[in-house]
Structure 1
Amino acid sequence: MTDISWITLATTAATVLAIGIGVLGPALAMGRAISSALEAIARQPEAEKSIMRTLFIGLAMIESLAIYVLVIVLIVLFRNPLLEYVLQAVS
């Protein structure tokens, strides 16, 4: 295999690992937020509307972290700056 093939293989493996780790945190945070909201609603059912509104805003903020990870990984995967650097060095 050539150097470019190894770099492509390594960056692809790194992006797969990055998306796995990068989505794990927001997934755990969303589960914890939903669990806490359900506990709060069970304790004070009259505050359900307020709790749900706050929950949905929080879930949107948490989900944005996963979307940022996805965008960065896609940039690295399809527009690999390291690969361009190697191609310029070879030329």
Structure 2
Amino acid sequence: MYFALLAIAVALIAVAAFGCGIAQGIAVYGAANSMARQPEIAGKIQLVMFVGLAFIESLTIYSLMMSFILVGKLPKTEAVLELIQHAVK
């Protein structure tokens, strides 16, 4: 059961990365719209956008590091096959 939960956790981390990509797209879209409407404050909007993107990207990097840690905890293929063979008997 432990190994199945680890495999599911590694897969769900990909969902977090997907969510970060969507969030970055929405943030850049909103900033581009704001800069097009009010070009005089484009510098301030751009600064806020970059700070927001940095926070979003930090979640992506954290997810990547967690996936490396969890993949390292997964058993080798031989160990999984041995567990399956013992379960079948």
Same fold (TM over 0.5): yes
Correspondence for 2:60: 66
Aligned length: 73
Instruction: Map residues 5-84 of structure 1 onto 2, 5 A cutoff.
Output: 7=3, 10=4, 11-12=6-7, 14-15=9-10, 17-78=11-72, 80=73
Bigger mean CA offset, 19-28 vs 40-49: 19-28
Runs of 4+ residues deviating >3 angstroms: 10-14
Identity in percent: 37
Shift of 1:13: 6.5
Unaligned stretches of 5+ residues in structure 2? 80-89
Q: Which amino acid aligns with 2:66?
A: I
RMSD: 2.1
Return the alpha-carbon distance in structure 2 between the equivalents of residues 65 and 40 of structure 1: 25
Listed as ranges, the gaps of 5+ residues in structure 1 are: 1-6
TM-score with structure 1 length normalisation?
0.70
| Equivalent position amino acid for 1:72 in 2 | M
